[in-house]
Structure 1
Amino acid sequence: MQFRTKIQVEKSAFPIDYDSKILLLGSCFAENMGMKFDFFKFQATTNPFGIIFNAVSLEKLIRRIVENNKFTEKDIFFHNDLWHCFEVHSEWSNPDKEIFLSNLNSILELTNQQISSLKHCIITLGTSWIYRNIESNEIVANCHKVPQKQFVKELLSINQIEESLQNIVSLLQSVNPDCKFIFTVSPVRHIKDGFTENTLSKAHLIAAIHSVFNQNFSTSLELTTNQNQKNNKLSRITHHSSSITYFPAYEIMLDELRDYRFYTEDMLHPNQTAIDYIWEQFLINHISESVYEIMDEISAIQKGLQHRPFNPNTESHQKFLNNLKLKMTTLEKKLPFISF
């Protein structure tokens, strides 16, 4: 007897391994996934400019990164004793204007250098609701507690989101044609927008992502079919022809877990059990089995580093530390980019 529905996740034809350089962008759920990649010591960068919830703001930021378009004084403003930028998260806000601009442009330069060697870009969209600055008529990534009367709240249409996602793919693939994309929708519930409004918002995101996926697949299918005709061959084409895949984090949360015991106390965010389960489904389908053994070794080391003994000066604990150090040194030699 089955007591729940199981979400079918398509296994990736381009699995992630320890040679993969990964960029995670988007909502706070991207941060959750990024922490998992960090724990297992993958070559992953998460939200270099902080959490970004909507597709239009992500597109604007990626365009700036690809074009290496530096931030200037016209891109920033002073409010509540800090310098801010409407394109980035408030975690980067700073009381010193020069330091703020320097930090933003340093991150920009570093990310610009990284994108040419990316193997995977994972984008997690949070909402279709956006705020448009009335004075500039620009959609902002973050309001930075500027009075709400300076903004108009809007719902992005499916077409608007789709266009931004297509542009994101085109921009990154213009400098890195081999980059693969994994799109997902955050399972975090944005109830401040309203229950019905949150559902509508997520529906727009899902519809737009699948439209982009289907268009990308159709193009891949057409190119492969043309090539097969030239070679007088007929082969079975699958979704693996596409450079875009969809990971159903939102659906797993709503349909497989489907219970408030999998939420934090605010009843909006997935709790650690839910995050661990969603990560497990991601691992099974998007991470190469060839690295599972290394992941287990890294996990054992990480747990060892977190261990707090009652008696740290005992001979047995010193032996434990020496053994742990040996494991770390061995792994660091095998994978030089790893550092504990």
Structure 2
Amino acid sequence: MLWTTSFDIPEGDNKITHRSSILSIGSCFSTMIGEKLAERKFPVLNNPFGTIFNPLSIANLLEDSALEMPVNTDLMLVRDGLYLHYGMHSDVVAYSQDSLERLIQKKQQQVKNSLEHASLLLVTFGTAWVYEYGEKGQIVANCHKQPADLFEKRLLHPDEIQKSFSSFLNILREINPNIRVILTVSPVRHTRDGIPENQLSKSVLRLAAHDLTETYDFVSYFPSYEIMMDELRDYRFYKEDLVHPNAQAEDYIWQRFKTAWIDSKSFQLIEEFEGIKRDLAHRPFNPDSPAHMKFLDNLQKKLEKYNRDFDFSKEIDQLRKQTQYRGK
């Protein structure tokens, strides 16, 4: 008896290795995949502008970075004494307009460098519902808890997404002819828009992603949304909010992504690094026992070994703190 509907996911060409350079941008699903890649020591720039949900804002941020466009100060605002930008998440914040402008320019330069040298760009579309701000009707990435009457809400058309992303992808192909792009639709349900409205939004995003993969041979699609809706069709795979995939679902989708897009030659290193993470999280019954002392010594040697080729400075510092705490 089958308890789930499974389906084949085409494996990508030019798969990811530990020598690849990756840029992940978009909804919180991009952040999750980026974190799992970073934890396994893949070089990744992960959502530098914070979580961005709608595809037009994603495309604008990428294109402005690639072309070194000046920061649009008309979209800056002050909230609770902090300066924010409507074009990005509240993670991008400063204490003055000048500081915010410099911060955004720094992030744009990071993204530009990444786009020019990356092996892979991972983009996650979260929602096709957008908010237009002001008389010019500029689409914002985040309303930053401002009064609702400042914005007009509407649904994007697939053609708008196609046009906006085509503009960016044409630029991207010029500055980095060898890059691969993976598009995916976030499995996170935007139920605040309404259940039918969320389904409509996801359909628009999926159609736009399909059109882009048909138009550009270096653009592929990874079905994270479809995995959640079909293979994991059960509320036990959601967090308590019944909106976000839980850790079990995230791990399952990660395994599917790993099989489809990561070179099998990297699997052994992935297993080693996952083991190190588990070892660091280990809590012994007796931290002063000879067995645990030996365990820590072996872990330190393992970290020092891999630190020659990968950045394990945080893990080494974490182990050092554990050792110092034990000695008190």
TM over 0.5: yes
2:137 corresponds to: 137
One-letter amino acid of the structure 2 residue matched with residue 36 of structure 1 = K
Partner of 1:79: 79
1:308 to 262, 275, 283: 283
- Whether 2:259 is the aligned partner of 1:284: answer yes
Conserved? CA contact 2:18–2:42, under 8 Å: yes
User: Quick one: distance in 2 between partners of 1:134 and 1:125?
Assistant: 24
**Percent same amino acid at aligned positions?**
36
Q: Aligned ranges for residues 44-63 of structure 1 at < 5 Å?
A: 44-63=44-63
- Offset of 1:255 from its aligned partner? 0.5
Q: Counterpart amino acid of 1:272?
A: A
- Please state whether the residue corresponding to 1:102 is helix, strand or coil: helix
Between the aligned partners of 1:32 and 1:45, the Cα distance in structure 2 is 12
Matched, 1:249 2:249: no
Greater RCO (CA < 8 Å, at least 6 residues apart): 1
Paired position in structure 2 for 1:126? 126
CA contact (8 A) 1:62 1:171 kept: no
Shift of 1:73: 4.1
Q: In 2, distance between residues paired with 1:263 and 1:15?
A: 29
Question: How far does residue 322 in structure 1 lie from its aligned partner after superposition?
Answer: 1.4
- Cα 1:308–1:96, aligned 2, differ >3 Å: closer, same or farther? farther
Distance in 2, Cα, partners of 1:268 & 1:121: 26
C-alpha contact 2:41 2:310 (8 A) present in aligned 1: no
Amino acid at match of 1:123: V
Amino acid at match of 1:332: N
Separation in structure 1 between the aligned mates of residue 180 and residue 312 of structure 2, nearest angstrom: 23
Provide the C-alpha distance between the structure 1 equivalents of 2:227 and 2:78, rounded to a whole number of angstroms. Answer: 42
> Partner of 1:112 in structure 2?
112
Partner deviation per Cα, 1:292-311 (whole Å, 9 max, x = no partner): 00111111111111222233
Q: CA deviation at 1:75?
A: 4.3
One-letter amino acid matched to 1:132 = E
- Classify the secondary structure of the residue corresponding to 1:319: helix
1:297 pairs with 2:276: no
2:172, 2:102 → 1: CA distance? 24
Measure how far apart 1:167 and its partner are.
2.3
Q: Is the 8 A contact 1:70 1:108 kept in 2?
A: no
CA RMSD of aligned residues (A): 1.5
1:120-166 Cα distance to aligned partner (Å, 9 max, x none): 00000000000001333210011111111011101000101111222
Task: Give how far 1:35 is off.
Answer: 1.6
With normalisation by structure 2, the TM-score equals: 0.91
The whole-number CA distance in structure 2 between the counterparts of 1:114 and 1:246 is 21
3-state SS, counterpart of residue 254 of structure 1: helix
What is the letter of the counterpart of residue 170 of structure 1?
N
Gaps of 5+ in 1: 217-241
Structure 1 counterpart SS, 2:37: helix
Alpha-carbon distance in 1 for matches of 2:203, 2:251:
25
Are positions 1:320 and 2:295 aligned together?
yes
Q: Which amino acid aligns with 1:319?
A: K
1:312 Cα shift?
2.5
CA contact (8 A) 2:45 2:114 kept: no
Task: Give the letter aligned to residue 127 of structure 2.
Answer: T
Query: Structure 1 length normalisation: TM-score?
Result: 0.88
* Equivalent AA in structure 2 for residue 14 of structure 1: N
Between the aligned partners of 2:150 and 2:286, the Cα distance in structure 1 is 59
Count of aligned residue pairs for this structure pair = 314
